[in-house]
């Protein structure tokens, strides 16, 4: 069951309310990449003998897929992601992915007669495709898919549920549970629908809390992010909730893609969010807030109540108003190659992500490992997008930090000073919503605990692998981790740490050519 997986007004404003629901000047499609073809950001061949940061080990093998807005569920020994455009993929190791199907067309194995089965939804949304879904297994053993469709140039959307006996379908529609964008008409809470205060009913995430209660968090742009209580037996909303409880957003703030993860390690519920626009020039970035309760209130690392994260009344997409809220885990970045590094990999100079976002997350109760699953675009590749998985770790203050490189089967270890000292490609993700790519600079962590180069300060290894780093007077807490650098085709030491004001920094050891 997914409990073990997540344990976890006015028509004039009908302008691209939803990043995952935009078109033309930002319409997301799923035809931009070959889901299995290795590309500049995907090359992972043999372990290179040219570099030495760690003893040679067998290189991980990556097989990539394009599933936008991936939502994860684990069934037996297999991880599945479900995404927009009725796409799904699976893996047993979080590295080699196989596409199950994609495309809102009859014959898709997930919903074979989708155009008829979900006709009411598609007609209401005036759309020919579906957006970010979520799948959960309930006590009856069946799998419930929370699907949704959006018009695209307005928050006219419908959200419903379909059920299947098997995770890969076929799914049978149970009906629409929420609608939005009913201009001039009554909304579920009894008032006239107002896109500045009422939600766009897309991007659902259905999860069990630690006490076994079922919830659905959802929403994008428009009136914000909302949460509803659900019936654990039927998967339907409990009665008389309207749209549920608002958690944050409103006035068309560019905030979407909510996903909830409970951590038994910290006893917090972590609400992941995507800020900005999903396209390559949209500045998409992944953020998080936390609460002791599944329905909030949620705060960021500065203690700011996320209910205040919203646009300015009378404006649309007023990024500066909500930009200060939420812990920013990652945004656009590029690890540039450094003089002395191997030149055998022609893609090294452009290794990085553009507009990473709309993530899900997974906690493995057996190993205690956390994973962040998301889609991303890449420098120089336009709107091409693929799924990526990175490990996460809880820092000393109970906030997640994300490993700089994609997951390659590594586990965190016990390190010494000699493992850590050296030159690092350094990225400060900042706190902005921006399409600019942060290019790495070089810093040196020396044996005397000093940080020098492009940034100055101090560093310390605390215990086996905890990192305490001070850069230009700001303290960051996180971890050191040895992992596979796909661009350099070798193992390198890395660090990932977070400041109290919600800014993440990454470091990846420079791989010196032998």
Which are the catalytic amino acids? 69, 256
Q: If 0-12 CB within 10 Å is exposed, 13-18 middle and 19+ buried, where does residue 15 land?
A: middle
Give φ, ψ of 155 to 5 degrees.
-85, 35
For the stretch 62-99, what's the b/e string if a residue is b when 16 or more beta carbons lie within 10 angstroms of its beta carbon?
bbbbbbbbbbbbbbeeebbbbbbbbbbbbbebbbebeb
How far is residue 385 from each of residues 39, 41, 81, 126, measured CA to CA in Å?
11, 10, 15, 25
Q: Residue 149: CB partners within 8 Å, gap ≥ 6?
A: 118, 121, 122, 124, 125, 127, 129, 130, 131, 157, 158
Residue 401 CB partners (closer than 8 Å, separation 6+): 329, 392, 393, 394, 395, 478, 479, 496, 497, 498, 504
For 251, phi then psi, to 5°, come to 55, 35
- Backbone φ, ψ for residue 474 (5° rounding): -110, 130
Q: Is the peptide bond before 426 cis (omega within 30 degrees of 0)?
A: no
Cβ contact 276:326 at 8 Å: no
DSSP annotation of 238 = P
492 Cβ contact partners less than 8 Å away, ≥ 6 residues apart = 53, 54, 405, 482, 483, 484, 485, 508, 509, 511
Q: Bridge partners of 237?
A: 230
CA 31 to the chain's CA centroid: 21
| Residue that has been written with the tokens 């005397």 in this structure | 448
- Residue 406 to residue 389: CA distance in whole angstroms: 6
Helix (H) or strand (E) holding 154: none
């Amino acid at each position: 069951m997914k409990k073990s997986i997540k344990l976890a007004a006015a028509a004039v404003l009908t302008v691209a309310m939803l990043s995952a629901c935009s078109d033309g000047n930002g319409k997301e499609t799923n035809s931009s990449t070959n889901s299995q073809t290795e590309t500049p950001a995907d090359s992972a061949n043999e372990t290179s003998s040219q570099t030495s940061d760690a003893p040679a080990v067998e290189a991980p093998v990556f097989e990539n897929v394009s599933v936008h807005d991936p939502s994860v569920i684990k069934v037996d020994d297999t991880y599945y992601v479900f995404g927009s455009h009725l796409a799904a993929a699976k893996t047993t190791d979080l590295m080699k992915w196989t596409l199950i199907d994609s495309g809102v067309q009859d014959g898709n194995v997930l919903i074979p007669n989708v155009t008829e089965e979900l006709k009411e939804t598609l007609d209401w949304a005036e759309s020919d495709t579906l957006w970010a879904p979520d799948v959960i297994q309930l006590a009856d053993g069946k799998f419930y898919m929370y699907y949704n469709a959006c018009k695209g140039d307005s928050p006219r959307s419908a959200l419903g549920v379909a059920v299947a006996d098997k995770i890969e379908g076929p799914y049978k529609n149970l009906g629409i549970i929420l609608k939005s964008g009913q201009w001039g008409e009554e909304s579920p809470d009894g008032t006239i629908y107002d896109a500045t205060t009422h939600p766009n009913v897309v991007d659902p995430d259905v999860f069990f809390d630690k006490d076994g209660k079922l919830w659905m968090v959802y929403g994008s742009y428009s009136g914000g992010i909302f949460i509803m209580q659900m019936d654990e037996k039927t998967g339907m909303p409990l009665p008389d909730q309207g749209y549920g409880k608002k958690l944050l957003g409103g006035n068309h703030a560019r905030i979407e893609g909510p996903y909830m993860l409970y951590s038994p390690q910290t006893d917090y519920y972590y609400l992941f969010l995507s800020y900005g626009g999903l396209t390559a020039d949209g500045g998409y970035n992944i953020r998080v807030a936390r609460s002791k309760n599944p329905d909030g209130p949620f705060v960021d690392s500065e203690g700011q109540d996320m209910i205040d994260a919203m646009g300015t009344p009378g404006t649309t997409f007023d990024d500066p108003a909500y930009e200060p809220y939420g812990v920013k885990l990652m945004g656009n970045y590029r690890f540039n190659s450094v003089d002395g590094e191997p030149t055998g990999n022609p893609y090294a100079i452009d290794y990085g992500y553009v507009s990473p976002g709309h993530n899900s997350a997974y906690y493995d109760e057996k190993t205690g490992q956390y994973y962040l699953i998301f889609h991303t675009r890449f420098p120089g590749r336009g709107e091409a997008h693929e799924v990526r998985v990175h490990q996460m770790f809880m820092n000393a203050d109970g906030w997640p930090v994300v490993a700089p490189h994609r997951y390659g089967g590594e586990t965190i270890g016990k390190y010494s000073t000699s493992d850590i000292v050296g030159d690092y490609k350094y990225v400060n993700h900042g706190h902005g919503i921006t399409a600019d790519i942060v290019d790495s600079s070089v810093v040196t962590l020396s044996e005397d605990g000093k940080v020098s180069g492009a940034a100055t300060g101090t560093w310390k290894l605390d215990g086996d692998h905890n990192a305490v780093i001070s850069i230009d007077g700001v303290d960051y807490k996180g971890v050191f981790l040895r992992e596979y650098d796909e661009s350099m085709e070798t193992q390198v030491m890395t660090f990932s740490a977070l400041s109290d004001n919600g800014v993440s920094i990454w470091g990846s050891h420079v791989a010196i050519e032998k």
